[in-house]
Chain A
Amino acid sequence: MFLRSALAWHACFHRSFVRSQAPVGCLPHTVSFATAADAPLHFCVVGSGPAGFYATDRLLKRFGDAVRVTLLDRLPTPFGLVRSGVAPDHPDTKNVINHFGQWAQDPRVEFVGNVTVGRDVQLTDLRRFYNAVILSYGAESNRQLNVPGRELKGTLSAREFVWWYNGHPEYRHLPIDLSATHAVAICGLGNVAIDCARILLRCPDELAKTDIAEHALAQLRQSAVKEVHLIGRRGPVQAAFTPKELRELLTLPGLQVHIDPQMLQLSPVDELEVKSTRMKRRVLEIITKAASASPKGTTDRHLHLHFLRTPAGILGDEEGGVSGLRLEQNELQVGQTGLGQRAVGTGRFEELKADLVLESIGYRSVPLDGVPFDQDAGIVPNELGRVLGGSSGSQPYERGLYVSGWVKRGPTGIIGTNLVDAGITVECIVEDAMASALPTVPANDCGAQALVAAIQDHGKQVVSFADWQKIDAAEVERGKAVGKPREKFTDVDEMLAVCKEQ
């Protein structure tokens, strides 16, 4: 799961509303349009992860029969991070794809996979074919540590590692050799970091019953990893992980957990922070319990939680590989505004041994040609989902262009966060539709039909939802042979070949 500080997002969320415009009257459940019967509105949703699917669902609910939605994905497979992000040992979290699948099969919806905007089709084309385009393509990159040694072989991002064990086609050949890896240092204390640690430390026989990619399982069975270090700049009170993920990791059978008890001594400001949310309170209880647990684990696998440490450099050996991590010890200082405490380096350094370093300090969205992008925030600048920066000059928004999900608000929150987020974006679209502020499209050359024709003109194979169902069935069938719920295809050509089968 990807829950990096749901509450922090909450706060931003709240602030962004204050800038909103004056209230409008309560809108009816489904909006009706005079021209609905003969000319429905055509919407294109770019990216079929949770943000895209929840936007689609809201569009269907709000516009009723007066809407057609095309849902694009650059991969032949839908569901975004539910497929390539959610950990394989969290199958219940993936149940949401049952809902997504129902929406995708709605007669008003067309899934079109294997289409990359900017390569197979241009955004300008989409804006010509659709009354509105909703960008929900998520965050396909990550923030990087600003330290020397990143170029050493053995430094990867946690995102790449997650996509590798989840069988994302672009990361199946990630240069990784767990049979020669003894210690892993994971920089970051969010749930992605926890997922990586758990996958590395958990008994492979248990993972063998999940939909983990076969190449990853094979390596985990040969793994020499005995030590995993989780490293955070601040203290246990400020860490971004959530109780469920933390408890699950700290109570892995036989695992030896190491936490410096000094780190659990809270300052008065820490105490205040803990009191402010029950989640922090529960996180602290779990850490305290793990720190004092006896007897210690029975296996030779060790987890070390390091607080108040900032990576200062990645250390290398003669062959250009990673050999360790240099850390600076920190102190917490109260910021200028209220409770927030920041980490300040003390000038004291230490080193730990590691032959794999995973950066897990946040995902990051990538810009799309023709769309404004805020490099600092790593998002498309927007107000409630309307993309800012209209070129006409007379209005602040890009007409007919919207965002939803991580590319709108940054890479935080859980799957369900997108439900609320997409709802707000779709309300903007409803308002704009009612104010006749959406671009018009030629009645005989618009929507999915026009789009697919334009793409196929270039000889590109597109993937329909029925095609995906063939891939899905084949994966489940492959899984049966090895006792897994599915064995994913990790090669796009293989997927496309399955689609062509009768």
Chain B
Amino acid sequence: MTAGTHEGTAKPGAETISVTFHDDKDGSEKTVQVPIGESLLEAAHANEIELEGACEGSLACSTCHVVVEDPGMYDKLPEPDDDENDMLDLAFGLTDTSRLGCQILASKELDGLRVRIPGATRNFAVDGYKPKPH
């Protein structure tokens, strides 16, 4: 399954769902309306959310890796196929609820979906550093 092309903007009247992107890099969060059938990669680009898609949705990279925050929501997604798993294996910060943004297509039951864009945060960059108690 490969993401097709789409204009990437919610047309007036088109059915949409609400998706929240949390960016680990700077802790920013953005909730956007995603038309049914559109991929999260397309939605991110249409809404100026920093989600790299180096191979343009052709399942040849893992740069649009996102982590589905709610395991219940993750279970609602169709299983990743071999091609997606191949790329996920190489993703930065892989978790049990990781998916590629280009392979998650907006559908009604995903309304309210929250995903995290893993990155090297300042917190991660000082992993192991424990602030002294006051």
Which A residues contact B (CB, under 8 angstroms)?
3, 6, 10, 14, 17-18, 20-24, 26-27, 29, 61, 90, 92-93, 95-96, 98-99, 242-244, 247, 277-279, 282, 384, 414-417, 419-420, 423-424, 427
Question: Which of B9-17, B31-39, B51-59, B66-74 contacts its partner?
Answer: B51-59
Q: Are B54 and A17 in contact (CB under 8 A)?
A: no
| Chain B contact surface mostly | loop
Cβ 8 A contact of B54, one of A18, A61, A416: A416
Task: Say whether B119 contacts A23, CB under 8 Å.
Answer: no
Given A17-B126, A23-B126, does the pair A96, B120 have CB atoms closer than 8 Å?
no
In the complex, chain B residues whose CB is within 8 Å of the CB of A23: 122-123, 125-126, 129
Task: With CB as the reference atom, state the residue of chain A lying closest to B83.
Answer: A244
Asked if A17 and B124 sit within 8 Å, CB to CB, the answer is yes
Question: What 16 new A-B contacts, CB under 8 Å, besides A18-B129, A20-B126?
Answer: A17-B125, A17-B128, A23-B123, A23-B125, A26-B26, A27-B26, A93-B61, A95-B58, A243-B85, A243-B86, A244-B83, A279-B89, A419-B63, A423-B119, A427-B122, A427-B125
Q: Interface 1/0s, chain B 83-96, versus A by CB < 8 A?
A: 10111011110000
Among residues of B, the one whose C-beta sits closest to the C-beta of A421 is B120
CA distance A414 to B129 in the complex (A): 28
CB pair B89–A282 under 8 Å, yes or no, is yes
Closest to B122 in A: A23
B91 to chain A, nearest CB (A): 8
Specify the chain A residue showing the minimal Cβ separation from B94: A278
Q: Which residues of B contact A21 (CB under 8 A)?
A: 126
Q: Which of B87-134 contact A (CB under 8 A)?
A: 87, 89-92, 119-120, 122-129
Residues of A within 8 A of B86 (CB): 242-244, 247, 282
Contacts of A384 in B (CB 8 A): 125
Provide the residues of chain A in CB contact with B127, threshold 8 Å. 14, 17-18
Residues of A within 8 A of B63 (CB): 415-416, 419
Q: Are A423 and B89 in contact (CB under 8 A)?
A: no
Residue numbers in B under 8 Å from A24 (CB-CB)? 122
Distance, CA A26 to CA B83, complexed state (A):
36
- Please report the C-alpha to C-alpha distance between residue A427 and residue B27 in the assembled complex, in whole angstroms: 15
Which partner residue on chain A sits nearest B27 by CB separation?
Answer: A26
A242 cross-chain contacts in B, Cβ below 8 A: 86, 89-90
Q: Which 8 A-B pairs have the closest CB atoms?
A: A92-B60, A244-B86, A92-B58, A96-B54, A279-B89, A18-B128, A416-B63, A93-B60
Q: Does A423 contact B129, Cβ atoms closer than 8 Å?
A: no
Across the interface, B61 reaches (CB within 8 A) one of A96, A243, A277, namely: A96
The residue in chain B whose Cβ has the minimal distance to the Cβ of A96 is B54
Whether the Cβ atoms of B60 and A243 lie closer than 8 Å is: no
Q: A95-B56, A96-B61, A423-B120 are in contact. Are A29 and B89 (CB under 8 A)?
A: no
State how many angstroms separate the Cβ of B65 from the closest Cβ of chain A.
8
Asked if A20 contacts B89 (CB within 8 A), the reply is: no
Are the C-beta atoms of B120 and A424 separated by less than 8 Å? Answer: yes
- The residue of chain B having its C-beta at the shortest distance from the C-beta of A15 within the complex is B128
> Would A416 and B129 be within 8 Å (CB), given that A6-B90, A23-B123, A243-B89 are in contact?
no
- Would you call B6 an interface residue if the criterion is a C-beta within 8 Å of the partner chain's C-beta atoms? no
Nearest CB in chain A to that of B61: its residue: A416
B25–A423 contact, CB under 8 A? yes
Closest beta carbon of chain B to A217's beta carbon, Å: 22
Q: Determine how close the nearest CB of chain A comes to the CB of B19; give it in whole angstroms.
A: 20
Closest residue of A by beta carbon distance from B63 = A416
Asked if B89 contacts A416 (CB within 8 A), the reply is: no
Across-interface contacts of B83 in A (CB, < 8 A) = 244
Find the A residue at minimum CB distance from B127.
Answer: A17
Sample 11 A-B pairs with CB under 8 A, ordered by A number. A17-B128, A24-B122, A27-B122, A29-B26, A95-B56, A242-B86, A247-B86, A279-B89, A415-B63, A416-B61, A416-B63
Q: How far is the CA of A61 from the CA of B48 in the complex (A)?
A: 12
CA of A3 to CA of B89, assembled, Å: 11
Q: A414-B61, A416-B61, A423-B25 given as contacts; is B54 within 8 A of A95 (CB)?
A: yes
Give min CB distance, B50 to chain A, whole Å. Answer: 8
CA distance A419 to B91 in the complex (A): 11
Q: How far is the CA of A75 from the CA of B50 in the complex (A)?
A: 31
Complex Cα distance, B121 from A427, in Å, reads 10
A25 (CB) vs chain B CBs: closest residue: B122
Residue from the list B26, B62, B125 in contact with A416, Cβ < 8 A: B62
A282 close to B62 (CB less than 8 A): no
In the complex, are the beta carbons of B26 and A22 less than 8 A apart?
A: no
Nearest-CB distance from A249 to chain B (Å)? 13
State whether A20 touches B125 (Cβ < 8 A): yes
Min Cβ gap B98→A in Å is 10
A29 and B28 contact, CB distance less than 8 A:
yes
Min distance, Cβ A172 to any Cβ of chain B, angstroms: 27
A22 neighbours in B (Cβ, 8 Å):
126, 129
- Nearest A residue to B57, CB-CB: A95
Q: Give the docked Cα–Cα distance between A24 and B26 (Å).
A: 12
B90–A420 touching, CB < 8 Å? no
Least Cβ distance of B124 to chain A in Å?
A: 7
Instruction: Report the minimal beta-carbon distance from A102 to chain B, rounded to whole angstroms.
Output: 12
Are A278 and B89 in contact, CB atoms less than 8 angstroms apart? Answer: yes
Residue contact A414 to B90, C-beta cutoff 8 Å = yes
Residues of B within 8 A of A3 (CB): 90
User: In the bound complex, do residue A99 and residue B54 qualify as a contact, i.e. CB atoms below 8 Å apart?
Assistant: yes
Minimum Cβ distance to chain A for residue B52 (Å): 6
State the CA gap A18–B82 with chains docked (Å): 35
Contacts of B59 on A, CB cut-off 8 Å?
Answer: 92
Chain B residues lying within 8 Å of A17, measured Cβ to Cβ, are 124-128
Residues 74-86 of chain B: 1 if any A CB is under 8 Å from the residue's CB, otherwise 0? 0000000011011
